[in-house]
Structure formats: C-alpha cells, structure tokens
Amino acid sequence: MTDYRRLRVALLGAGSVGSQVAGLLRQHADELADRAGARLELVGIAVRDVDAPRDVELPRELLTTDAETLIVGADIVIELMGGIEPARTHLLHAINSGADIVTANKALLASHGPEIFDAADQVGAEVYYEAAAAGAIPIIRPLRDSLAGDRVQRIMGIVNGTTNYILDHMDTEGAEFSDVLADAQRLGYAEADPTADVEGYDAAQKAAILASLAFHTAVPLDAVHREGITSIDKSTMDAARHAGYVIKLLAVCERLTGPEGESISVRVYPALIDRAHPLASVHGANNAVFVQAEAAGNLMFYGAGAGGVQTASAVLGDVVSAARRHIAGGVGVGESTLANLPVVPVGRVTTRYHITLEVDDRPGVLATVAGILSEGRVSIATVEQTVIGDGEAGSGVARLVIGTHKALEQDLSETVDRLAASGVVERVVSVLRVEGD
C-alpha cells in the first residue's frame, strides 16, 4: 500500500447526504487515496444529536456536537448541515483556519456566496460546491472548467425534482396538482411543507448559483425572478399538451445583448417546452441542465438532482479535487466576477407566450381582443377558439388560446391587464412563456 500523506477531513452533518459521504469515505478509503494522492482521514463528524439514528452505521467515537473544535486543524471541511447559520460561521472559520471547503449548501451560497468566496480568496483557500446546483449531475465543474474558454449564452435547467415529478405526473396521468402533490408527499418526493419547491425558491437559489458561474457575475438571490407551479391546473396542462407542449419549471439564465451592451436575465417560472425539445423528455424527479454556448453549441447534463447517496457522489468528487489541490498547492480557480454584468428585471425579457382566456362568445369579441394585443405591441401567431358554453353563439363562453410572436414581457403583462379589464374577457386562465426556441 502506498504511503500517502494524510489529510484531515472534518464532516459537518450526517443526515441524508452526510451519512452517505461518511460511509463512502470509509468504505472506499484505499481507492480514494489512490485517486486523490492522499489518505483522506475522517477525523470527526459534527451533528446535533450523537444518538440519533443514521442511514449509515458510523463509529460512535467520530460523532461530536462540537463543530468548532473539529474544524481546527482540518485540511478539508465538508459542510452538509444545510441552512444559513451556523453553517456560514463554520465555513468562514474553516477557511480562516486554512482548510479548503466542500459544501452542497445552495441556500447559503445563493445568499452569502460572495462573502464565502471573498474570504476564501483572501487566504488562498478553495470552495467546491458541485452538489449545490443539481445534486449528482456534474454541472459546476463543466461551467467552471470545461467551458472556461467559451461564452455561455443560455442555461435552461430543470433543477427541482419535486416540481418535475408533479408536473410530469399531471402531464402523463391527467391528474390535478393537489392530488399529485399528496402522492409525492406520501412517496417522499415532496416535503410535508412543499413551499420551497412548489413556489420555486429552491430552483431560484440554484439559478443564482448557475448564473453567477456562467456569466462571471455575482447574481444576488433577489435579482432572480421567481414564480412557482401552484397556478398550473389540469386544464392548463391539457391545453399545453393539445398545443404540442409540456410544462416544466425552468431556471433560465440568459445573456442578453442590447443597445446598452450586455446584460443577463435570471428567472424561474413554469414554461411551455416543445415536446421535441430534449428537456421535454426529463421525467419523474430527474433533473437536467441544458447549456447553450457560443462555440460548443447545445449541451445537456442529465440525472439525479437529489438523493443522499447520489449527492454524496458529487461531494466526494469535490473532496478528491480539494485533496489534490491541497497537496499540489498553488492558487485555486477562485470565483470570477470579472464580467459584472447587470441583471435586468423580467420585464426586459423577450419570449413567446401562450395566453388562455375565457371570453364572451359573441360576434366582435375576437376583433376586440386582437385590437388590444396589437395596441400593446403583441403580435398574434396562432389563435384557437373552443366554445365551452351551451354551443349557441352569443349565449355562452368561449376559450381562446392565443400564441404570440416574441414580445417584451413588460408589453405583454400590460396588455394582459388591459384584456382583463376590457369587458369582453371573463377570465385570464393562464399566461405561459414558451422557452427553448
């Protein structure tokens, strides 16, 4: 057995991911030593309750509630506690104690990324976070390293497994949102409190991380436009299917070019995707990130966006990288925010839309609707009308599904407000963007 140098590894957290990381570090110790060029010695695991049951059996003597002491003297600190505090304080302490750090904590990086990266820069430490954006799917390293010589134009990610599971089942089974959510909770795909997932908060954190990296710009979480999927009902889903689309919750990070130069847009919302698009075939709780780069063209990264052991794979990859760098020394890659592009509000984004309206079924209504759209600089590409009243013109309600050409979001939303107030529109059923053109 090669006599490798020993690196002290401290693990903070032994929950779904942490317990698997600890298990794999111990189980594959020899192989990992060969790959890293160093023996990764797990010196301790900080938890809240040393007596709590664990997914993986761990030696009792490794468990401690004293994270601060554990960090001192560690070469690599792996943070898998989650949340903002005390994770933030522990990571800053680890960096200032000379450790490289590995974390899967998207909430922390999306809200305090610049603080962590600056602290690491100051002391020449490195921050690895492959598991923070899409679980097991390698996307951070491709953006940071493989595409470092290219210019990313757009990222479209299905980065939340819970919402993809719900939307996929609504699409394939014709079920209602609330029924699929209840099933997802029973099967463990959704939390008892699903807000972070279904309202798009989790996806927004990941979008901020991906956009920051792809566009060399610190993207604050509050600059990410966010909408969830709770307004998507069976009839919206049916209409999307009928028109040849599927609805996905997308994290879209896009480089925009205008008269004032370059800017970026970062947004999370449910959008229509053509069924022929590769993202349309991402089923169940899987994730995928579709990257469009100037020279490389279209790339897609697909797989498990969550899961204890799957996420542990990405964490261990980071641990091996951290170990190699720790041994080789030298300056790390660091986070580049050199481009520092402005992040524009969603109103400045241009996309195609599908507007579904319930209108009075009487002569002249279509002309009124078309007039309002035209005045609002929204050009119609397709119109489909279905009578949903008693079938006699003038005595019922008709459903209008209007597909638009590309329009400015601000124009579109003002136009929809005017339609809603026009007196001929009974109800604006849905307004969905079309992505992936």
Using CB under 6 A as the criterion, which residues of the chain lie in contact with ligand NAP when the complex forms? 13-18, 46-49, 52, 67, 80-82, 86, 104-106, 131, 135, 306-308, 311
- List Cβ neighbours of 360 (8 Å cut-off, separation of 6 or more): 397, 398, 424, 426
The DSSP H or E segment spanning 350 is strand 350-361
CB of 175 closer than 8 Å to CB of 237: no
CB of 70 closer than 8 Å to CB of 46: yes
- List Cβ neighbours of 354 (8 Å cut-off, separation of 6 or more): 239, 240, 243, 245, 272, 401, 402, 403, 404, 430, 431, 432, 434
Backbone angles phi, psi at 240, to 5 degrees: -65, -45
CB nearer to ligand NAP: pick between 188 and 423 = 188
Alpha-carbon span 204 to 189, nearest angstrom:
19
The answer to whether residue 206 is catalytic is yes
- Does residue 53 have a cis peptide bond before it, meaning omega lies within 30 degrees of 0? no
Q: How far is the CB of 12 from ligand NAP (least distance, A)?
A: 6
CB of 265 closer than 8 Å to CB of 408: no
CB nearer to ligand NAP: pick between 307 and 396 = 307
Minimal CB distance residue for ligand NAP: 15
Catalytic residue (choose from 206, 234, 248, 406): 206
CB atoms within 10 A of CB 367: 10
DSSP string, 379-409: -EEEEEEEE-SSSSTTSEEEEEEEEE-SEEH
CB of 134 closer than 8 Å to CB of 287: yes
Q: How far is the CB of 126 from ligand NAP (least distance, A)?
A: 19
Q: How far is the CB of 266 from ligand NAP (least distance, A)?
A: 19
Q: How far is the CB of 10 from ligand NAP (least distance, A)?
A: 12
CB nearer to ligand NAP: pick between 14 and 346 = 14
Q: How far is the CB of 128 from ligand NAP (least distance, A)?
A: 13
CB nearer to ligand NAP: pick between 159 and 272 = 159
What 112-115 contacts at long range (C-beta under 8 Å, 24+ apart), as own/partner pairs, is 112/84, 112/88, 113/208, 113/209, 113/212, 113/218, 113/335, 114/218, 114/337, 115/88
Q: How far is the CB of 172 from ligand NAP (least distance, A)?
A: 24
Q: How far is the CB of 131 from ligand NAP (least distance, A)?
A: 5
Joined together, the tokens standing for residue 184 give 């997802």
Q: Give the orientation angle of helix 409-420 with respect to helix 365-375, to 10 degrees.
A: 150
CB nearer to ligand NAP: pick between 101 and 401 = 101
Q: Output the CA–CA distances (angstroms, integers) from residue 69 to 43, 64, 65, 99, 269, in the order listed.
A: 11, 9, 9, 13, 43
Q: Residue type for 76, please?
A: I
Alpha-carbon span 375 to 342, nearest angstrom:
30
Q: How far is the CB of 160 from ligand NAP (least distance, A)?
A: 11
CB nearer to ligand NAP: pick between 160 and 236 = 160
CB of 319 closer than 8 Å to CB of 9: yes
Q: Residue type for 222, please?
A: D
Question: Which residues have a catalytic role annotated?
Answer: 206
